[in-house]
A and B are shown apart, each in its own frame.
Chain A
Amino acid sequence: MRALAERFREILGDDGVITDPVRLRTYECDGLTVHRATPGIVVLPGTAEQIAEIVRECNAARTPYIARGSGTGLSGGALPRADGVLIVTSRMRRIIEIDVANQRAVVEPGVTNLAISQAARPHGYYYAPDPSSQQICSIGGNVAENSGGAHCLKYGFTVNHVLACEIVTPDGEITWLGGGDPGYDLLGAFIGSEGTLGIATKVVVRLTRTPEAVLTLLAAFDGIERGGRAVSAIIGAGIVPAAIEMMDALAIEAAEAAVGCGYPEGAGAVLIVELDGPEAEVRHQFERVETICAEAGAFELRVARDDAERAAVWTGRKSAFAAVGRISPAYIVQDGVVPRTALPEVLAAIDALSADYGIRVANVFHAGDGNLHPLVLFDDAVPGEGTRAEEVSGRILDLCVEHGGSITGEHGVGVDKSRYMTKMFGDDDLDTMQLLRCAFDPMNLCNPGKVFPTPRLCGEAPGVRRGVHPLVASGEAELF
């Protein structure tokens, strides 16, 4: 490690290399604090060339490396390793170009999601995906995790808004992916690969025209069931809102305590419905949404009349995760997906779990696309409560899979959920994924130990299975 650090100092200068143990520890976790590991070395590069050199040095020393942006991930995707190098992109935050004519922007990976929208706004554009952490999460991290956000119901995820990436490959080469080249969609494979296929060093994003009209409705219900009914009815009516978000009573309580969002009193659930697009269309659809909500049993409908009121409605929702810190000493943010139609059933089952284990669960979710964010609350000072919360959290994922959903909607697998991958995928599926990974990272040094349940080395027979992969056996594929 010491020799490597010396080499990095030659590349980056003293200022770009951290080896002091006290400083290193501040990088021990990202937004998910249950997994911690102090990195061996932290580097703060400023250019793609520097990253490429660092990666080549790591390869030469057979040392694993992990990329990190702002450290806000919720699945431990950027969890460091004591025997590894943490490559932090927080100093690469130049917006290189806002190309209005081509509706795109070229940015460095450390630029925050919100900074892109702020830079594009004067031109009448914005960057559509909006994770709740948008004011700080980096676009490089968004690419790695294929991040979503409240407005992905209508606009899609990061993968739908990134046109090309300059990356440093695990070989230490700088290359471009995407840009509409024929052949395999390697960019599609790269986005959402959780930092296992290389490091993005420039990101070309699509800019979306700021909609002519935006209307936001806050509807209060006595409970989640009626809110859920409204969601199904809205989508069933052929309306695609920009966002439909739901929060339950406990989540409302937390948000109220944190930011005083002033949601209707006594609400057992609130639904935030946002419509955007051409003025006439939005107005017409908005009336229908209001009617549907009223028919589903909303006891109060509140319309945000301007940007300030809209921001007030969203503040409660967007701060909900961290806000739970006000009502509970510790909590787990879960992320799962269920088919929209299974929402009421799954929520009822979560309620039952919560009662069984004596563990409170607050629910915040992107109701439109069935992406749940149950917040499992516990007190880490009470012996055993952490373990029970952990169990509840895992059982919620079981529920998601049982109902035909997924173990993650947008937070990624990282280290936190790799053990659940076997619940969704068979060995053949996982091996096939591993083959893709090996094609990019044959030495298994690029963010190893993430996503996959058991660490496997490229070229080795997978640990769980005995015998060769069927594709290899049949001669259709060979191991590199």
Chain B
Amino acid sequence: MDPKLIDDCVHCGFCLPTCPTYVLWGEEMDSPRGRIHLMRQHVEGTPVTPEMAGHFDACLGCMACVTACPSGVRYDRLIEETRAVVEREHRRPLAERAFRALVFATFPRPRLLRALRGPLRLYQASGLAPLVRRALPGPLAAMEALAPELTARVRLPRLVRARGPRRAVVGLLTGCVQGEFFPQVNSATARVLALEGCDVVIPRGQSCCGALSLHAGRPEQARRLARRVIRTFERAGVDTIVVNAAGCGSAMKDYADVLADDPAWSARAAALSAKVRDLAEFLAELGPAAPRHPLEITVAYHDACHLAHAQGVRAQPRALLSAIPGLTVVEVPDSAICCGSAGTYNLFQPGAARDLGDRKAANVLATGADLLVSANPGCTVQITSALARRGREIAVAHTAQLLDASLRARPARALLRGGRP
């Protein structure tokens, strides 16, 4: 934990109302200001106590405080460093360690996720869910409850050619959870990019981008994964790398920092980070070329934290959606407060995640929208399961899917069918 970064905090408290855990519990040590104070205590010699670790673990890493901070405190860097310190210095109880090991052995591995698809589909079709749910221990039950309903697998080609004159050559990150659980989002993304005049290069054998590891205090794993992604996309020879999952895009834009101390890789990392764009960010820069067809639908736009706070992408997706004829965008109240997904948070901190999910679900329902637009697979999973707990369903789709429907003149009801993305 860099004392200089800690000293930037002037203790003004402007971050407090934006912090999800402060909103939930109203305690200083579960606010960014309080956590920075704990970091200072540690730097000044206090060892990482279980209490202290608990408050750091409770941070979602949503970065809303970074947006709110007038003093420019780099809380993102601070919490990343802090999590690594906690992993090094704090010994968690055995069950917790085992569960964390399981999660970090599974999620960053697209191939393993793919292998789990079959059993998961069987399980979802079996009707065993209510029985199993009761039998599972806490953390595994949280995992079970979040598992999205699977659709058929989609295998994307290595290259999707631009329709009409070519305006750009882009690479597409397929992601782990996005690719395996929401393949329809990737295909929609590729179609939209192609229709807007991009050659879309989709390298095979992509690894995890390292976001989950980076945001959970496992910098070694994050660096290893980052190097693989850099190698993959260097070979692809593209000008831009388009990412449609907010968490992944944010992590890849951070590669420059992640590998800054690695002389062999720092320049390559910086070059790659500079090429990364969120899909909405990229489309806004590119400007529209393909004609939009009307979609008569009211959508609520959900700000994914790693898009809005970490990447500052707020206006672009709203502008893209509003430009679809017939489509109305409505705002979700308290839109800047995290839904509780936050990467692996809803697995490790199920209680807080659940409370935040419930708040988000209530706010989403209050909009009365037909559909929720979410540009991050984690948020989609989290909000869908929070709505299901209330016995409510609302269709959830990615920005790419709405653009895809509009560009291809598909009816709005195709997006609403089944209440699932």
Contacts and interface: CB of A to CB of B under 8 A. Distances in A.
23 contacts: A22-B51, A26-B28, A28-B37, A29-B11, A30-B11, A31-B11, A31-B13, A33-B10, A44-B27, A70-B13, A88-B26, A90-B26, A90-B27, A91-B25, A112-B17, A114-B17, A133-B14, A321-B70, A322-B70, A322-B71, A323-B70, A325-B71, A326-B71
Contacts of B37: 25-26, 28
Given A91-B26, A322-B71, A22 B49 contact: yes
Interface in A314-340: 319, 321-323, 325-326, 329, 331
Contacts of A323: 70-71
Contacts of A29: 11
B312 to A, nearest CB: 12
A70 B52 CA distance: 21
B107 to A, nearest CB: 31
Interface in B230-276: none
B7 A135 contact: no
Interface in A10-31: 18, 20, 22-23, 25-31
A110 B10 CA distance: 22
Interface string A110-129: 10101000000000000000
A259 B71 CA distance: 9
A368 interface: no
B8 interface: yes
Interface in B1-53: 7-14, 16-17, 22, 25-29, 34, 37-38, 41, 46, 49, 51-52
A72 interface: yes
A135 B49 contact: no
Most chain A C-beta atoms within 10 Å of own C-beta, residue among B10, B25, B49: B10
A322 B17 contact: no
Contact of B26 (A26, A33, A110, A114): A110
A72 B13 contact: yes
Interface in A21-75: 22-23, 25-31, 33, 44, 70-72
A136 interface: yes
A258 interface: yes
Contact of A22 (B7, B9, B46): B46
B51 A325 contact: no
A23 B29 contact: yes
Contacts, number: 86
Contact of B72 (A133, A258, A331): A258
A9 interface: no
Contacts of B51: 20, 22-23
A198 to B, nearest CB: 21
Contacts of A33: 10-11
A72 B12 CA distance: 6
B14 A25 contact: no
B14 A322 contact: yes
Q: Chain A contact residues (Cβ within 8 angstroms of B): what range?
A: 35 or more
Interface string A72-110: 100000000000000010110100000000000000001
A167 to B, nearest CB: 21
A216 B49 CA distance: 51
Given A22-B38, A22-B49, A91-B26, A70 B16 contact: yes
B385 to A, nearest CB: 26
A455 B29 CA distance: 31
B283 to A, nearest CB: 23
Given A70-B16, A323-B70, 8 more contacts: A22-B49, A31-B11, A31-B13, A258-B70, A321-B70, A322-B70, A325-B10, A331-B10
A135 B12 CA distance: 11
A20 B46 CA distance: 13
Contacts of B72: 257-258, 325-326
B380 to A, nearest CB: 28
B71 A44 contact: no
A114 B22 CA distance: 16
Interface residues of B, number: 29
Nearest to A29: B11
B28 A27 contact: yes
A325 B8 contact: yes
Interface in B287-301: none
Contact of B17 (A23, A31, A135, A321): A135
A26 B12 contact: no
Contacts of A93: 26
Interface string A302-319: 000000000000000001
B336 to A, nearest CB: 11
Contacts of A90: 22, 26-28
A325 B52 contact: no
A163 B200 CA distance: 64
A93 B16 CA distance: 14
Nearest to A331: B10
A133 B28 CA distance: 17
A44 B26 contact: yes
A71 B28 contact: yes
A258 B10 CA distance: 13
Given A44-B26, A72-B12, A325-B10, A26 B71 contact: no
Contacts of A133: 12-14
A309 to B, nearest CB: 15
B27 A258 contact: no
B83 to A, nearest CB: 17
Contacts of A88: 26, 28
Contacts of A25: 37, 41
Contacts of A112: 17
Contact of A26 (B8, B9, B38): B38
Given A27-B28, A133-B14, A22 B70 contact: no
A25 B26 CA distance: 16
Nearest to A110: B26
A88 B8 CA distance: 26
Interface in B177-213: none
Contacts of B7: 329
A321 B34 contact: no
Contacts of A326: 71-72
Nearest to B55: A23
Across the A-B interface, the 9 shortest Cβ-Cβ residue pairs: A325-B71, A322-B70, A90-B26, A319-B70, A26-B34, A91-B26, A322-B12, A72-B13, A26-B29
Interface string A177-209: 000000000000000000000000000000000
Contacts of A114: 17
Nearest to B27: A44
Nearest to B16: A136
A12 to B, nearest CB: 13
Interface in A252-280: 257-259
Interface in A126-144: 133, 135-137
Contacts of A27: 28
